[in-house]
Amino acid sequence: MAKKKLQHFAENKTFPHYFESTFAQISESGSNMRGNWKSLFFANSGKLIVEIGCGKGEYTIGQAKRFGNNNFIGVDIKGARIWRGAKTIEEEGMKNAAFIRSQAGLLHLWFAESEVDEIWITFPDPQPGSRKNKRLTSPRYLSMFKKFLKPEGIVHLKTDSSELFDYTIEMIGENNLRVVERVDDIYGTITEGPLCEIRTFYESMWLAEGKTIMYVAFQIDNLLQ
């Protein structure tokens, strides 16, 4: 298994749609792609949509296939997981998708002010108990997202964790943020469309276990940094 991971890490670096930098390389002025994703890589004016904690990239790839006029970037710290999505891009010749290996807390070094149209957070670690400040919908992360999300840009959360979902709704209320859409039970409410037709590996697993999948989309313009 370790050998296969090393092979995947090595192959990732051969893909033109895979990006990785050390903190030392980008800490001062950010990645050279920062502010240049549409001009230097995608070469179009479509929306830029970022998935945080993309895993194997099922959601990034699924959205890129369905919405060909937009551009999608999946982000995860685990390169072995990203490899599957990056390999699919290579095999299918996709032009509107890419992957970044990075910690979520460094994304302001990868994207410039108002560069990103939407953020997707799909089935993140709910960080239970006292680890609330590590949640991707905590004020700590939302403040960072605001640095590169466009005004009126949207944050999407899709989760099986009622604890995380309730916490996010609480954060939305406390910060007077605007809810764009809320679905408390996707598969008990919606029968067609990308929200229920594009699934991650973990989503399929949670559904098989009978878990309820929840979704909320909201804007963070009113968030005080």
pLDDT at 225: 59
Please give the CATH number for the structural domain made up of 2-14+47-219. 3.40.50.150
What spatial distance separates the first Cα and last Cα of the chain, rounded to whole Å? 43
pLDDT at 76: 96
CA distance 186 to 132: 25
Please identify every stretch of the chain with a pLDDT value under 70, giving residue numbers as ranges.
Answer: 1, 224-225
pLDDT at 130: 73
Question: Which residues, in sequence order, are CB contacts of 170 under 8 Å at separation 6+?
Answer: none
Tokens 């099922």 — which residue?
58
Point out the catalytic residue in the list 76, 117, 125, 166: 125
pLDDT at 101: 96
- Domain extents for the chain? 2-14+47-219
- Supply angle C-alpha 128, 85, 98, rounded to 5: 95
Please give the torsion angle defined by the CA atoms of residues 73, 77, 78 and 83, in that order, rounded to the nearest 10 degrees: 20
Does 166 qualify as catalytic in the annotation?
no
Contact 135, 127 (CB under 8 A): yes
CA distance 190 to 197: 10
pLDDT at 6: 84
* E strand or H helix at 205: helix 201-208
What's the gap between Cα 67 and its chain centre?
A: 16
Contact 206, 214 (CB under 8 A): no
pLDDT at 80: 87
Contact 31, 110 (CB under 8 A): yes
